[in-house]
Amino acid sequence: MTMAQKRLIPRLLQLALVVLGVYFSFILVFDVLLGQLIPKSLLTMYMVFVVSGVVMVFTFTEEGTQELVGPIKALVEDPSKKMLRNVVFVIVPLLAGYYTYTSMLPSFEAPMELRTIHPAPPSKFKAFGKSYNLTTLENPYRKFQKDDPAKFRELVKAGGDVYIKNCQYCHGDKLDGKGPYASGLNPTPLNFQDVGTIAQLQESFLFWRIATGGPGLPAEAAPWISSMPVWQNFLTEDEIWKVILYLYDYTGRQPRSWAHE
Ligand code: HEC
């Protein structure tokens, strides 16, 4: 009697069971117990190490190796296994072909990612050739709202001129995001009347968005390319601060501020 006949479970099956056992333990520990999905690529990497390790252990002795590859050798060489051999050598390539084919089919589903409309701003950014700190940046004209209302009205009016000349094409003359170009754009220009936009934001955030436009957005605001222009190339710093005053004034909203007023 050889070793192989004594065994309850053949060595090859043992190897497969150990590998599968480790695989499902990973899934059990990470996904089920810890609630942390392991990325597929990482799991593949772990499994490469696991399989190499297990194969090393199983082929440690000459005898063990013989036992392990015995059934494979028999399948390829044994004349009595001709039928089985033909079946395996047809089915395996067909399965591999089918798998490759289905994994290459294009998907027509919308991408899973949702666009972050208000991405976390950087704490610092560059515009107009200098560096701004977003946490301390304030609209230099905001103080006139209380201190000098007449002057404030003038500034808002100047901001309105900037808006009508530059922004209404996309954001609309009622600031509702329905400008003449809007329907052709994806993502669509934002509707400043909506409570979900400027009312939620600080003026410094707006300054950053207006000065650096679509190209200034961080990666999480992808996957679509925003058509929002880089206004630091066309407007002055003052004009941007004034148009911001206008956006809040027209919509009757107040910017969010750090201070609890
Ligand atoms: C060519 C069309 C276009 C023009 C012109 C344009 N915008 Fe935009 N703007 C967009 C689009 C599209 C978005 C939404 C995508 C994004 O966030 O970049 C946007 C977003 C913004 C946002 C971000 C608001 C938020 O809630 O995050 C601000 C602020 C803004 N625009 C202000 C302006 C101002 C001020 C002007 C004029 C000086 C202007 N835009 C001109 C297309 C335009």
Residues 193-226: b if buried by 16+ CB within 10 A, e if exposed: beeebbbebbbbbbbbbbbbbeebbeeebeeeeb
Site of tokens 């950014």: 125
Nearest CA to ligand 1 atom 32: 210
Site of tokens 């051999």: 85
> Residue 55's CB: how many other CB atoms inside 10 A?
14
Task: Quote the pLDDT of residue 257.
Answer: 76
Ligand 1, residues 165, 170, 191, 238: which to mutate, most atoms within 8 A of Cβ?
Answer: 170
**pLDDT (tens digit, 9 = 90+) per residue, 197-210?**
898 899 999 999 99
Nearest CA to ligand 1 atom 12: 189
Site of tokens 């052709």: 184
Nearest CA to ligand 1 atom 7: 228
**From the CB of 243, is ligand 1 less than 6 Å away?**
yes
pLDDT at position 146 over 90: yes
Ligand 1 atom nearest residue 213's Cα: 18
Ligand 1 centroid vs 214 CA: distance in angstroms?
Answer: 8
CB 206 within 8 A of CB 247: yes
Quote the tokens at residue 147. 């201190």
**pLDDT (tens digit, 9 = 90+) per residue, 42-80?**
889 999 999 999 999 988 889 888 888 888 888 888 888
Task: Quote the pLDDT of residue 74.
Answer: 85
201's CB contacts (< 8 A; 6+ apart) are 118, 255, 256
Ligand 1 centroid vs 191 CA: distance in angstroms?
Answer: 9
**From the CB of 228, is ligand 1 less than 6 Å away?**
yes
**From the CB of 206, is ligand 1 less than 6 Å away?**
yes
**From the CB of 65, is ligand 1 less than 6 Å away?**
no
**From the CB of 190, is ligand 1 less than 6 Å away?**
yes
Ligand 1 atom nearest residue 197's Cα: 26
Output the CA–CA distances (angstroms, integers) from residue 109 to 64, 112, 222, 230, 232, in the order listed.
49, 8, 17, 32, 37
Quote the tokens at residue 98. 């089918």
Summary mean pLDDT of the chain: 88
Task: Quote the pLDDT of residue 182.
Answer: 94
pLDDT at position 6 over 70: no
Average pLDDT over residues 208-234: 86
Percentage, residues of the chain above pLDDT 90? 52
Closest CA to 148 of 136, 137, 140, 159: 140
pLDDT at position 115 over 50: yes
Closest CA to 72 of 13, 121, 18: 13
Nearest CA to ligand 1 atom 11: 189
The upper half-sphere exposure of residue 29, i.e. CA atoms within 13 Å in the direction of its Cβ, equals: 6
My answer on whether omega of the bond before 218 falls inside 30° of 0, hence cis, is no
Ligand 1 atom nearest residue 200's Cα: 26
Q: How confident is the model at residue 110 (pLDDT cuts 50, 70, 90)?
A: low
Nearest CA to ligand 1 atom 34: 167
pLDDT at position 225 over 60: yes
> Residue 128's CB: how many other CB atoms inside 10 A?
13
Q: How confident is the model at residue 260 (pLDDT cuts 50, 70, 90)?
A: very low
pLDDT at position 2 over 60: no
